[in-house]
Amino acid sequence: MARLSLKSVEKVYGNKFKAVHGINLEVEEGEFMVLVGPSGCAKSTTLRMIAGLETVTGGEIHIGDQVVNDLVPGKRGIAMVFQNYALYPHMKVHNNLSFGLKLRREPRDKIASATQEVSGILEIEELLDRLPKQLSGGQAQRVALGRALIKQPEVFLFDEPLSNLDAKLRASMRVRITDLHKRLREEGRPATVVYVTHDQVEAMTMGDRICVMKDGHIMQVADPVTLYERPANSFVAGFIGMPEMNLAEAVLTLGNTPELTIAGQTIEVASELAERLSGSEGTVTLGIRPQHLTVEPENAAGAFSGEITNIEFMGHEVNLHVDVGDNPFVAVVQSDRIDRQLRRGDRVALRPVGSKIHVFDAMSGENISLNYSNN
Amino acid sequence: MGGDSKYLGLWYVAPYLVGLLLFTAFPFVSSMYLSFTDYNLLSSPEWVGLENYEKLFTRDRTFRKSLTVTLTYVFTTVPLKLVFALFIAVVLNYRLRGINFFRTAFYVPSILGGSIAIAVLWRYIFADTGLMNMIIEMFGGEGVNWFGEPANALFTITLLRIWQFGSAMVIFLAALQSVDRSLYEAAAIDGAGRWQTFKSITLPLITPVIFFNLIMQTVQAFQEFNGPYIITEGGPLKSTYLLPLYIYDEAFKSFDMGNASAIAWVLFVIIMVLTLVAFWSSKKWVYYAGDKRS
Amino acid sequence: MKQFNSLQNTASQHEKSAHSEASSRRRRNISAALRYSLLAVFGLIMVYPLIWLVGASFKSNSEIFSSPWFWPQEPTSQGYVDGWKTSTPYTFGHFFLNSMKIAIPKVIGTAISSTLVAYGFARFDFPGKKILFAVLIATLLLPDVVTRIPQYLLFRELGWLDTYLPLFVPQWFAWEAFFVFMLVQFLRAIPREMEEASRVDGANSLQTLIFIVVPILTPALVSVCLFQFMWTMNDFLGPLIYISTVENYPISLALKLSIDATEAFNWNQILAMTVLALTPSLVVFFLAQKSFIEGISTGGVKG
């Protein structure tokens, strides 16, 4: 186990395209760090640079106390689990597992005991004599996991390992991976993990900390709760959380009564919030999570009125889609708290919970309603 | 890959690089040089400038004959071979059972055909008392003097080459089979007939393969050696004396390396010109589906 | 009344559609029958020379000239016995061995060098790669007529005349671009992740090539070896230029010798030898038919 540091790491391709823009990231020893973001955000590229499968065109990558930029992947102390498993098709499972050890010329008994141990942990003992093509998706992924585990690397790298599995398998593999991480920590050999996924649910449930990326930039690095409650910008706010946070253009006026106006409708803003927003008058982006809206009758005070465009009955909850002027909003309400007679076209009002309102700078997306120095 | 030298790939490609220089580039350049010399292996090459070429084009009757024969041969066999290959490929491109059997039957001649063994067989088949005449007589005709008449002799080697259309056919067949069936269904809905569909849909889509086969076949046809050498020995009266035979005789029988190189270069230039013409014309008639090339 | 009429209409419509279904099926059957007969007739004509060849090799000399039918009335292996002895001090077996002495180093050299070079092109970026690859493709089309004479002079300088060296040494340098190209195409279709996993496991590029890539590349390599073997067995011009002593003749030259030998050909001998000369190629072809045609289609169409 070792620390991983990325210092001003950059990736520029031959055709001058800059995929990764000078990012800085510290992953603590034994930490489970998730890189998440939409496709094209360069999370895989970053992972592959850590692995050594892509060359680093700027900055430094440290594993432990070594700068690994010029080291081949095999000498960096890393192991990787690929999206497509990448098992060696012509080798039996046990040879797939031990290939790396054999290259290091480990003694045969050590290889045998390591193979035993790993296959026990991952419950693949009966599969040892099979060829990869005889394995199911889940089995293959466990073998890939085993191949990484057996090397006892400094850093584990995962490149969207669950994307090729069906939903049910994905859920059980998620648990298996996090259990493994916990178990290794308890046994005194904590594993440093960098895990890439595009699925924010995976990110939120697995990561100690999450690094949200967009277009080769890091948008925020924080633990799941912080990311959810205190997103640093509108991108992170919109990316984390299901359904997405409602983001709408609004006008902020400060003065005797600070107010936010959407589609001609105005609500008051709490004074603590107004304090933090001083100097930001004008057009802003309002953010409020669907779960933080209550449904009121039309024209209720402190609420925005609009027309219902869709009602989705989710069982325990109802997703209510309301257009406030041109702005689409979604409110998530418990189904026993909502009027069952509501239909599309009806008009209602949505009241935001004052303390949960986020205000983002309209240009930069920065969250100006949070004050980090005040915790 | 991190840590790999950026020259690593060069090491793997090195054998090719070395071989290219030794066995292709250097001979290529020196053969051009030789064509401007008089060299008979007994003494060093003597520079004679354009004399070899001048002799070829003004005073060498054999060369003129050989050139004519070669061009006739190529412009006969290549189109015919391609037509047969395409025709049989189209016939085979049907959900027939046993398609593999037929495909093999047509393909086998082309894998054996270039060999001297088949050339020997051919020599027998067209002998005066050979198989061909026996069949003709069986049908009541008169035996033909194949190797005594120039036209007949040329026919025998032409037939040999066309007989080997299997290799081109296999490539056509693969191309035909890769055409999306839904295009044919759309055409059928539009009311297109069989020939119309073939002309407007199938043919355009396989033009890259036609182009490829055209080039490969032309280049190969110009270099035909085994057949004429064994079967007709270039005769009668040099009526099957293809240029490769002339080059061989000049180089390895007369040991006139200079002249042989000159003839080789003329042949080479002809091939290159035709290839370039084909490439240039391909822009007009070759259609690359989904390809961003112009 | 209307109802009855519409019932009638439906009935006749059914008839009509059943009719047209049947007639289109008939059309399809006729079409298939036409195709089959065309293919059968044409195929037979194509293959008959070979069938006839095998049959004739088992006939006596006089019987060959008597009828175009391939089946021997009085089968005899005399042609083979006499042909084997050949009119030289050496048996056919000797010449066959010579052919193998050329073919085996040539095939091995081709396989190894083509793999290395294809790996270099398919998996690495290096300065000059684009140009070199363009040259590779250009040499695919290039007629080698121009290079033969200087090559001869080169090998003459090296003292390699009348040896097999000129016939297989160039292949150790991936001289035949066709095979490199074919392997590059195959490699392009193989996902790189397994090789990446291998590098992460600690293998260097050469170990990755040997332990991971080559096993996966095997079908293509088999095609390469078979193609090269067949082409070598049939190669005539190469040996003709370089081999001068009868003792060193491969079967292609030995066959030529047998025709030159006498005016009054002993055709049954010659035909028997011809069959023997073709047999290795044919055997090799049929043993690996599938990978063969896959190989040529992938290499050709995807070019």
Instruction: Determine the distance in angstroms separating the CA of B59 from the nearest CA of chain C, rounded to an integer.
Output: 23
The pLDDT assigned to C290 comes to 63
pLDDT score for C84: 84
Is the predicted pLDDT of residue C21 greater than 80, yes or no? no
Partner residue opposite B1 with nearest CB, options A53, A68, A69 = A53
Spatial CA neighbour of B206 closest among B181, B165, B173: B173
| Contact check, Cβ <8 Å, B1/A73 | yes
Boundaries of domain holding B74:
61-285
**Residue A159 predicted with pLDDT over 80:** yes
Q: Chain B: list its partners (3+ Cβ pairs within 8 Å).
A: A, C
Q: Which CATH architecture has domain A245-374?
A: Beta Barrel (2.40)
**B46 lies in a domain?**
no
What is the sign of the dihedral through the CA atoms of A269, A273, A278 and A280? negative
pLDDT (average), residues B73-94: 90
pLDDT at C293 (0 to 100): 58
Count CB-CB contacts under 10 A for residue C35. Answer: 17
Answer whether residue B143 shows pLDDT above 70. yes
Binning pLDDT at 50, 70 and 90, where does residue C1 land?
A: very low
C-contacting residues of A 136-155, CB under 8 Å? 147, 151
Q: Helix, strand or coil for residue A308?
A: strand
- CB neighbours of A62 closer than 8 A, spacing ≥ 6? A3, A4, A5, A6, A7, A68
Q: Would you tell me how many other CB atoms lie within 10 Å of the CB of residue A6?
A: 23
Inside any domain, residue B123: yes
Instruction: Taking residues A294-300, report their average pLDDT.
Output: 88
Report the residue of C27, C36, C50, C173 to disrupt the B interface, i.e. the one with the largest count of B CBs within 10 Å.
Answer: C173
Amino acid A31: pLDDT: 95
Please tell me if residue B145 touches chain C, with a CB cutoff of 8 Å.
no
pLDDT of residue C11: 59
Query: If you average pLDDT over every residue of chain C, what do you get?
Result: 84
**Cβ contact B10–C289 (<8 Å):** no
User: B196 to chain C nearest CA, in Å?
Assistant: 17
Quickly count: other Cβ atoms within 10 Å of residue B98's Cβ.
Answer: 10
Q: Which residue of B has its CA nearest to A51?
A: B2
Distances (CA, A) of C254 to B275, C166, C167: 36, 19, 17
pLDDT bracket for residue C143 (50, 70, 90): confident
pLDDT given at position B205: 85
Partner residue facing B1 (CB), from A68, A69, A72: A72
Predicted complex ipTM? 0.85
Q: Compute the half-sphere exposure of residue C60: CA atoms within 13 Å on the CB side of its CA.
A: 4
What residue spans define the domains of chain A? Answer: 4-229, 245-374
Q: Average pLDDT of C151-170?
A: 93
User: What are the tens digits of pLDDT across the range A242-289?
Assistant: 899 999 999 988 877 788 888 888 888 877 777 788 777 889 999 999
Residue C81: which pLDDT band, with cuts at 50, 70 and 90?
confident
Contacting partners of chain A (3+ CB pairs under 8 A): B, C
C123: contact with B, CB 8 A cutoff: yes
Secondary structure in 3-state letters for A206-249: HCCEEEEEECCEEEEEECHHHHHHCCCEHHHHHHCCCCCCEEEE
Closest residue to C212, CB basis, from A53, A73, A88 = A88
Per-residue pLDDT tens digits for A17-50: 999 999 999 999 999 999 999 998 999 999 999 9
Residue B3 domain-assigned (yes or no):
no
CATH number of the domain that residue B168 is part of: 1.10.3720.10
Are the C-beta atoms of A257 and A267 separated by less than 8 Å?
Answer: no
| pLDDT above 70 for C295 | no
CB contact under 8 Å between A49 and B2, yes or no, is yes
Distant-in-sequence contacts of C165-168, Cβ < 8 A, 24+ apart = C166/C238, C166/C242, C167/C102, C167/C106, C167/C232, C167/C235, C167/C238, C167/C239, C167/C242, C168/C102, C168/C105, C168/C106, C168/C109
CB pairs under 8 A between A and B: 25
pLDDT grade, residue B290 (50/70/90)? Answer: low
Q: C87-301: which CATH topology?
A: MetI-like fold (1.10.3720)
Residues B250, C87: Cα–Cα separation, whole Å = 29
Looking at the complex, does the CB of residue B257 fall below 8 Å from at least one CB of chain C? yes
Give the pLDDT score at A35.
96
DSSP state of C76: -
Size of interface A-C (CB pairs under 8 A): 59
Radius of gyration of chain C from its Cα atoms, rounded to whole angstroms: 28
Which pLDDT does position C10 carry in this prediction?
57
**Contact between B271 and B224 (Cβ < 8 Å):** no
Model confidence at B292, pLDDT cuts 50, 70, 90, reads very low
Chains B and C form CB pairs within 8 A to the count of: 246
Annotated domain spans of chain C: 2-57, 87-301
Tell me how far apart the alpha carbons of residues A200 and A244 are, in angstroms, rounded to a whole number: 11
Relative to beta strand A32-36, strand A18-27 is: unpaired
3-state secondary structure of C87: coil
pLDDT of residue C7: 55
Please tell me the total count of domains within chain B: 1
The CATH code of domain A4-229 reads 3.40.50.300
Lowest mean pLDDT among B3-12, B15-24, B185-194: B185-194
User: 3-class SS at B47?
Assistant: strand
Helix (H, G, I), strand (E, B) or coil at B289: coil
Say what the pLDDT of residue C292 is.
Answer: 57
Residue B34 covered by a domain:
no
The percentage of residues in chain C with a pLDDT greater than 90, rounded to a whole number, is 40
In this structure, is residue B110 part of a structural domain?
yes
The nearest CA of chain C is from the CA of A283 a distance in Å of 48
How many beta carbons lie within 10 A of that of residue B196, not counting itself? 12
Is the pLDDT at C303 greater than 50? The verdict is: no
Is C170 in the B-facing interface, judged by CB distances under 8 Å? yes
What residues contact C278, with CB distance under 8 A and at least 6 apart?
B112, B115, B117, B118
Amino acid present at C4: F
| Closest CA of chain C from A59, distance in Å | 22
What is the identity of the amino acid at A197? T
C-alpha distances (whole Å) from C222 to each of C185, C213, C214, C284, C300 are 15, 14, 11, 11, 17
Percent of chain B residues topping a pLDDT of 90? 35
pLDDT in tens, A218-228: 999 999 999 99
